[in-house]
Amino acid sequence: MKIRNYWNLRDWGANLWEGANRPKRVAIALGSIFLVGLLPFAGASFLATPIAAYDAVLVYPVGVFVLMALGLNIVVGKSGMLDLGYVAFFAIGAYTMALMGTHTGLNTWEIMPFGIGFAMLAGVLLGLPTLRLRGDYLAIVTLGFGEIVRLVVLNSTWSKGPNGIANIPMPPDIGPLKFKLDDQKVFFWVVVTMILLTIWMIRRLSVRRPGRAWEAIRQDEDAAELMGVPTLKYKIWSFTLGAAVGGAAGVLYASKNLFIAPEMFTLNVSILILSCVVFGGIGNIWGVVVGATILGYLPDRIRFISDARLLVFGTVLVVVMNFRPDGLLPRKKREKAIVKKEVNA
């Protein structure tokens, strides 16, 4: 007996993928990537965002949100640690780009490794003393860290305080692809590439030892330790990888926006990215992608109703979370179901 649940897009997608052979999978993947790549050309359709430029919306917030949500999902979804200060890593990436871009003459691609590196370094430095904490305690500490980073850049002279940093250089052209302010297709393709790399990284890690370790830590940290999982090490790894993705998003954001200021890196961003993860389906890559896409896109799509748009946005969140408390595309709840997959024991 097959119960068809039209709401269950996750299983529909999983079945489609598992039922396909290798060439079919390659076709599905390439086809989807191609379609996503065409998105910036759909500006005249119903997708258009009034007031805000459509192709710019696709880059920020949509693309950058997806990237950050994927990074935060490594921490929150994969290994089960609540991080309320994720914006800190985004800010570190952005300020690395801004400072190095305006002072050293290096271009965006050359600065990218530094941005990622500094974010990872911050992740390790924050993680070493704090990841012994669990649950609420960790959430509070990370929340504090996010605010500390913002307050430091707000009150320092090297960061030009509340004035922010202007004249950040755009990325250099990649062959025939030119980065332009009034046409952000190339930015979008770069974000999509970064998203794909992130997804690839997460998927690879998930099926290997780190994935197993994170899963064990998320389900029962003490038991994981008893199995010989060096839990602190894997938690720091998870935290640092999440930080790396946040840092990369920050570098790209600064280089696209050409101007950054501390007010862009408030607690709100951390909360919004966490909402993307929870809204889409915590722990499920595709859920997170869908969640971040919707939450990034929606406010700009309904911008014409000006003041009421945050009300509508909030209502959508409340209604959806009521009907789908585990998110739009939740991860498989194996605790409750019998796993059907054949196992060769």
Contact residues toward other proteins (CB under 8 A) are 209, 212-213, 215-216, 219-220, 222-231, 333-343, 345
Give 338's DSSP letter: -
| Cα–Cα nearest to 169, from 111, 115, 87, 89 | 111
Local structure of 75: helix, strand or coil? helix
Q: Toward other proteins, which CB reaches closer, 194 or 224?
A: 224
Angle in degrees, CA 283, 150, 81, rounded to 5 = 25
Local structure of 214: helix, strand or coil? helix
How far apart CA 158 and CA 141 sit, in angstroms, is 26
CB of 265 to other proteins, least distance (A): 35
Q: Toward other proteins, which CB reaches closer, 4 or 336?
A: 336
Angle in degrees, CA 300, 305, 309, rounded to 5 = 60
Phi, psi of 166 (to 5 degrees): -110, 175
Q: Toward other proteins, which CB reaches closer, 35 or 223?
A: 223
How far apart CA 89 and CA 242 sit, in angstroms, is 9
CB of 209 to other proteins, least distance (A): 8
CB of 130 to other proteins, least distance (A): 18
CB of 78 to other proteins, least distance (A): 13
CB of 227 to other proteins, least distance (A): 5
Q: Toward other proteins, which CB reaches closer, 178 or 233?
A: 233
Q: Toward other proteins, which CB reaches closer, 62 or 229?
A: 229
Local structure of 174: helix, strand or coil? strand
